[in-house]
Amino acid sequence: MASGMEGAMEMEGATEMESATEMEGAMEMESAIEMASGKEMESGMETKMETKMKTEIEKKMETKTKKKMSMSKCALIAAACAALITVAGCSAPAAGSPSGGAPDGGQTPGQEKSLGAITVISREDGSGTRSAFVELFELRDDSNPDLTAASAEITNNTAVMMTSVAGNAGAIGYISLGSLNDSVKALKIDGAEASTENVSNGSYPVSRPFNIAVKGKLSPSAQDFFDFIMSAEGQDVIEQSGYIRVPDSGPYSGAKPTGKVVVAGSSSVSPAMDALQEAYVAIQPGAEIEIQQSDSSSGMNATIDGICDIGMASRELKDSEIEKGLTSTKIAIDGIAVIVNNGNPLDGLASEQVRAIFSGEAKEWTEFQ
């Protein structure tokens, strides 16, 4: 565009110089006429012919100058327009380009994008949810207690698991059914939808207990909170939180607790325990309940070591933990939801397909689409 403008300006300059030269010639001619007139007519009066000649010369020069200046301006405008058209032409979408709306060799309208490779996301080794998941889907054999693929990405709590799956179109993972929300999609397993109703009636095959564990005799404050959890009021909270209640011990009739109670362990059990704590403190304003979220194994070890009063586990206790003095009580039943990204078109999987995916045997989503 700059080159076009410079060319037009040079053209205009040349035209103006030419016009100036012609004007100087006209002035010289006019001087010559005046000198001739002076010699022929000493009275200083111009003859009619001289006047006519002078007038004609001036008119011709004026017309010629205006015409050339007009042509110069037109040339300038034309050059500027040409430069603008050139720039616009360079930035306009080429025929057949994506921005032009024509096929570009990529995905055609309405065609679903392939999900490609499967990204397996699992929980950490100490997770009770992982332990239950491995057991329920038989991801183990005599030589290996956990056949989860070595390539699996590892998350250390339920919230991170959901965020990871929600942000990866090819991801698959698993969480507590009670923690499920619309940020991810739960798959049907063996044709059954993941719901508390189906866990209760046995049609959904992936469920496990929520347990709390204690060592020895509890403090009065810890015992009172324990009693509330197992009461009718406590089990109402469990049910309202999306879990399956267990038989209760009747209405709560606690004392006025004093002192702090520490509860530690499973991140899967923690949402249920948070709801129980809130309901309990509403009844007992003077109570102080501290919940420390980690995993089932850490919770059991903290209870064994006397670091916490009550441990949380989303699995059955291990023999080694029982041998160290722990006793467990089931406070709820929870399903395990197998989750995928909301953009995954898959509706469900068979148990053996889940096992193939999490063991690393199946690697591409095309195997199930």
Q: What tens digit of pLDDT does each residue of 193-231 get?
A: 999 999 999 999 999 999 999 999 999 999 999 999 999
3-class SS letters over the chain: CHHHHHHHHHHHHHHHHHHHHHHHHHHHHHHHHHHHHHHHCCCCCCCHHHHHHHHHHHHHHHHHHHHHHHHHHHHHHHHHHHHHHHHHHHHCCCCCCHHHCCCCCCCCCCCCCCCCECEEEEECCCCHHHHHHHHHCCCCCCCCCCCCCCCCEEECCHHHHHHHHHCCCCEEEEEEHHHCCCCCEECEECCECCCHHHHHHCCCCCEEEEEEEEECCCCHHHHHHHHHHHCHHHHHHHHHCCCECCCCCCCCCCCCCCCEEEEEEECCCHHHHHHHHHHHHHHCCCCEEEEEEECHHHHHHHHHCCCCCEEEECCCCCHHHHHCCEEEEEEEEEEEEEEECCCCCCCEECHHHHHHHHCCCCCEHHHHC
pLDDT tens for 259-295 read: 899 999 999 999 999 999 999 999 999 999 999 999 9
**Residue 207 C-beta-side C-alpha neighbours within 13 Å:** 22
Between CA 254 and CA 265 the distance in angstroms is 25
Beta bridge partners of 23: none
Q: Whole-angstrom Cα distance, residue 98 to residue 332?
A: 55
Same domain, 146 and 160: yes
* Cα–Cα distance, 331 to 136 (Å, whole number): 20
Classify residue 44: in a domain, yes or no: no
Shared domain for 202 and 219, answered yes or no, is no
Of 231, 233, 216, 224, give the one whose Cα is nearest residue 258: 224
342 and 202 in a common domain: yes
Residue 249 domain-assigned (yes or no): yes
Residues 293 and 177 in one domain: no
Answer yes or no: are the C-beta atoms of 339 and 185 closer than 8 Å.
yes
Which CATH number does the domain housing residue 360 bear?
A: 3.40.190.10
The answer to whether residue 82 is domain-embedded is no
pLDDT by residue (tens digit) across 5-41?
A: 444 444 444 444 444 444 444 444 444 434 444 444 3
Q: Is residue 53 part of a domain?
A: no
Dihedral over alpha carbons 279, 283, 287, 289 (to 10 degrees):
-10
Is the pLDDT reported for residue 95 higher than 60? no
> Does residue 301 lie within any of the structural domains?
yes
Total structural domains in the chain? 2
Whether 173 and 141 map to the same domain: the answer is yes
Position 257 scores a pLDDT of 82
Kindly give, in sequence order, each residue whose CB lies less than 8 Å from that of residue 77, ignoring residues fewer than 6 positions away: 8
Task: Give the model's pLDDT for residue 13.
Answer: 44
The answer on 331 and 220 residing in a single domain is: yes
Whether pLDDT at 96 is above 50: no
Q: Which residue has the tokens 């070595």?
A: 150
Would you say residue 213 lies in a domain? yes
201 and 140 housed in the same domain: yes
Q: Is residue 68 part of a domain?
A: no
Are 289 and 202 found together in one domain? no
Q: How far apart, in whole angstroms, are the C-alpha atoms of residue 251 and residue 60? A: 118
pLDDT at 83 over 50: no
State the pLDDT at residue 42.
42
Q: What percent of the chain has pLDDT over 70?
A: 69
One domain for residues 189 and 147: yes
Banded pLDDT at 55 (limits 50, 70, 90):
low
CATH number for 285: 3.40.190
- What mean pLDDT comes out for the span 108-124? 76
User: Looking at the structure, do residues 319 and 217 belong to the same domain, yes or no?
Assistant: yes
Could you tell me if residue 132 is inside a domain?
yes
Give the pLDDT confidence score for residue 74 in this predicted structure. 42
Please tell me whether residues 234 and 190 are part of one structural domain.
no
For residues 147 and 293, membership in a common domain is answered with no
Least confident of 56-65, 135-144, 347-356: 56-65
Express each pLDDT in 337-363 by its tens digit. 999 999 999 999 999 999 999 999 999
| pLDDT attached to residue 305 | 98
242 dihedral zone (left: phi>0; alpha: psi -120 to 50; beta): left
pTM of the model: 0.67
Which residue range forms the structural domain that includes residue 316? 208-335
